[in-house]
Amino acid sequence: MDRLTTEQRSERMSCVRGKDTKPEMLVRRLVHGQGYRYRLHARDIPGCPDIVFSKRKKAIFVHGCYWRRHRGCPLARMPKSRIAFWESKLNGNRERDILNLQRLTEMGWECLVVWECELKDKKALQDRTMVFLEGNGAVA
């Protein structure tokens, strides 16, 4: 049972942002600090990647573990109310992400998915983004 009224829940959910989230901003600052320049939220590319390097044909997606169903992550827990609704919605997000990654790969793009829980180790994230941006081959 939800402790909030419908209006309170609606107001709270309207505060959940899809762009310029804290995890995304952290990755953007890190990549910019490495000397890379990029486009944001390119709507003309499948999946509207968070960070796009057009000349390199590389894209970075910054995924929240909860909203994108990061398997095995404690942050990807299932809500306790309206389970059928949330299971359908969250699994749909995951399936759409997989399809978008496949479409980008077919178009010759390389993609990197950075999960919210991976942001704790900034050195590992910095190394991973550097390998992705300088290397040849996709890193998922």
Q: Is the pLDDT of residue 14 over 90?
A: no
Looking at the domain 17-134, which fold is it?
Answer: Endonuclease; Chain A (3.40.960)
* Mean pLDDT on 111-127: 95
Higher per-residue pLDDT: 134 or 136:
134
Highest mean pLDDT among 2-6, 14-18, 136-140: 2-6
Q: How far apart are alpha carbons 2 and 15 in whole angstroms? A: 18
Look at residue 76 in the predicted model and tell me its pLDDT.
85
Beta bridge partners of 52: 39, 59
Name the average pLDDT for the chain: 89
* Mean pLDDT on 22-47: 94
Residue type, 46: P
Q: Is the pLDDT of residue 75 over 90?
A: no
By the 8 A CB rule, do 63 and 108 touch?
A: no
Look at residue 16 in the predicted model and tell me its pLDDT.
67
The domain ranges of the chain are: 17-134
Would you place residue 48 in the very low, low, confident or very high pLDDT band (cuts 50, 70, 90)?
Answer: very high
Residue type, 124: A
Would you place residue 133 in the very low, low, confident or very high pLDDT band (cuts 50, 70, 90)?
Answer: very high
Burial class of residue 81, CB neighbours in 10 A (0-12, 13-18, 19+) = exposed
